[in-house]
A = this chain, B = another copy of it.
């Protein structure tokens, strides 16, 4: 493991000095290879799917494993989108010249070596590799056992693409066995950052054992607050979109906060419509009688990321109370306010600390693709280094370049 990490570190040096054109050429080659090796990819994926069947993997997990022609095409398209993004390496983001002529610049550079630890979805191999190559970072991929054949063939295609463009195959390496995670987390000499992507258990394990910086997203306990002056015709579709479109993802709404001053008619309509979409509701006391058989929400409900067709609804007196509730139960992921009054909106924006704050829009927009990053490595809910979806730029850092002509310090 240490030997692999060392080779990746060395390769990262090569990738860092490879020009923009070479890195783009690798990505274009990779996109072609995905298409021309479609049969091979599907064959290998089939092996994983057979094993999944034998092991009675759940339908949801199996679905995340499946590759088919359209999914492979989507991966290839994603690679080309990343390749087409603006070059970030070498970009000067600040520049000044002192009175004595010393020039001070800040330049974007790669982080170095990124370790991705993830479960099931084989597309993470391609997303991570393309973002890493575009940003000049080498990457160590540690996928789940259940996707091992798929991950292997995809990594192999990445390595072939690197080789064809004259770069070291060690720029993208894959490791497999489950017990190697603990070893990876010790190698801070070679690995600059580790990004776990998966369940809470995996993420906690990585946080507790990593000796290098970790970027992770914990959970998305997202709220929508509907203020009394909100455009109620637009509010309902947003509420439904945020809850119903894809309830199992991190940017789905888990708790709806309604101003007590909203018309009863609206509250009733929201409840009826949600129930019509098979959403199980847990509501605060004063909403209990708006529909037959409504359950009361408990403290536990407010603290739960359901990831399912379940929603808590609570009424609040004003925006301050909404902010207080969100600061108590929110997970710094995505929060949304539906309102017209700019003062109220401003108060909400200032009072809430989350990676992406929505105004009159669905929580579902907190996503790399939607926010214009192309592919994403995950969504950071820690404010450190990155906050929100992580793309190419989030795998860089800024160093100082100082240029003098014989300057010495006084």
Nearest B-chain residue to A360, judged by Cβ: B404
The stretch of A62-70, A172-180, A392-400 that contacts the partner chain: A392-400
Q: How long is the Cα–Cα vector from A365 to B400 in the complex, in angstroms?
A: 11
Q: Is the CB of A98 within 8 A of B384?
A: no
The stretch of A30-38, A48-56, A345-353 that contacts the partner chain: A345-353
Q: How long is the Cα–Cα vector from A245 to B409 in the complex, in angstroms?
A: 8
A29 on the interface (CB 8 Å rule)?
no
A385 on the interface (CB 8 Å rule)?
yes
A268 on the interface (CB 8 Å rule)?
no
Q: Is the CB of A399 within 8 A of B407?
A: no
CB-contacts of A78-111 with B (<8 A): 96, 98, 102, 104, 109, 111
A182 on the interface (CB 8 Å rule)?
no
Q: How long is the Cα–Cα vector from A350 to B109 in the complex, in angstroms?
A: 9
A372 on the interface (CB 8 Å rule)?
yes
Partner of A384, one of B237, B384, B403: B384
Q: Is the CB of B409 within 8 A of A365?
A: yes
Across the interface, which residues of B come within 8 angstroms of A397, CB to CB? 383-385, 387
Q: Is the CB of B241 within 8 A of A384?
A: no
CB-contacts of A317-370 with B (<8 A): 327, 349-351, 353-362, 364-366, 370
A405 and B234 in contact (CB under 8 A), knowing A372-B104, A400-B366?
yes
A382 and B351 in contact (CB under 8 A), knowing A237-B408, A362-B409, A402-B365?
no
A13 on the interface (CB 8 Å rule)?
yes
Q: Is the CB of B406 within 8 A of A354?
A: no
A193 on the interface (CB 8 Å rule)?
yes
Q: How long is the Cα–Cα vector from A401 to B96 in the complex, in angstroms?
A: 29
Q: Residue among A213, A354, A355, A399 with the most chain B CB within 10 A?
A: A399
A192 on the interface (CB 8 Å rule)?
yes
Q: How long is the Cα–Cα vector from A366 to B385 in the complex, in angstroms?
A: 21
Across the interface, which residues of B come within 8 angstroms of A238, CB to CB? 406-408
A16 on the interface (CB 8 Å rule)?
yes
Q: How long is the Cα–Cα vector from A371 to B102 in the complex, in angstroms?
A: 9
A17 on the interface (CB 8 Å rule)?
yes
Q: How long is the Cα–Cα vector from A238 to B402 in the complex, in angstroms?
A: 14
Across the interface, which residues of B come within 8 angstroms of A193, CB to CB? 384
Shortest 6 CB-CB distances between A and B: which pairs? A234-B406, A361-B404, A241-B408, A364-B409, A356-B400, A361-B407
List 13 A-B residue pairs with CB atoms under 8 Å apart, sorted by A's residue number.
Answer: A13-B351, A111-B384, A237-B408, A354-B399, A358-B404, A359-B401, A360-B407, A361-B402, A361-B406, A364-B408, A366-B400, A370-B409, A383-B397
Known: A355-B399, A387-B397. 13 other contacts (CB 8 A): A13-B351, A17-B351, A98-B372, A357-B401, A358-B404, A359-B402, A360-B407, A361-B406, A364-B408, A366-B402, A384-B384, A387-B399, A388-B399
